[in-house]
Structure 1
Amino acid sequence: MDQQQILARITEMVDAERTLRESLASGAIDEATERSRLGVLERELDQCWDLLRRRRAVAESGGDPDTVRARPAAQVENYQS
């Protein structure tokens, strides 16, 4: 996955997260099920942001960003930007 693909995926997930949060706030959806979906989405976003940052750092230092792989969700979960 290259940088543009990662950014596109992040955009998709942010839009999905926003929609889920709005639906939860309005009470339009089942809270238990959607909170679970929201948690999965948040973990995937953490992974994508981490991957993007690490790829950029490797590229800036002259390395090959294609060698960087996503870390497990548990490792990057709840990162603060």
Structure 2
Amino acid sequence: MAGFEAGAEREILGHITEMISQEKELRDRLARQEIDEPTEHARLAGLETELDRCWDLLRQRRARIEAGQDPGEANVRPASEVEDYLS
């Protein structure tokens, strides 16, 4: 079971890493004037929301593990719920 859980965490972290790379690429494309600012901002907003949801899922899973609960029962929450959190 521990191997499966570590694999799920690696998958989530891999997705986060991929989205961070996409953010960097968007900023680079803007700097090279391949896209305009409104396009960059719209795409970044979507990536940031998805990143927030992934980080939230990862935190849920880790909290469940610490509490001796099944991390597989953690769920991706709606963007509207995750975006209302205060850091």
- Into which bin does the TM-score normalised by the smaller protein fall? 0.7 to 0.9
Identity rate, percent: 53
Q: 1:13 to 1:80 in 2, by over 3 A?
A: farther
- Is contact 1:54–1:68 with CA below 8 Å preserved after alignment? yes
Q: How many residues of Structure 1 are paired with residues of Structure 2 in the alignment? A: 81
Q: 1:79 to 1:20 in 2, by over 3 A?
A: farther
- Is contact 1:51–1:69 with CA below 8 Å preserved after alignment? yes
Return the letter of the residue paired with 1:39.
Answer: A
Pick 1 or 2: higher relative contact order, CA cutoff 8 A, min separation 6: 1
Q: What TM-score does the superposition give when structure 1 sets the normalisation length?
A: 0.85
Structure 1: segments with no counterpart, 5+ residues: none
Cα-Cα RMSD: 2.0
- Is contact 1:46–1:79 with CA below 8 Å preserved after alignment? no
Q: What TM-score does the superposition give when structure 2 sets the normalisation length?
A: 0.80
Structure 2: segments with no counterpart, 5+ residues: 1-6
- Is contact 1:43–1:78 with CA below 8 Å preserved after alignment? no
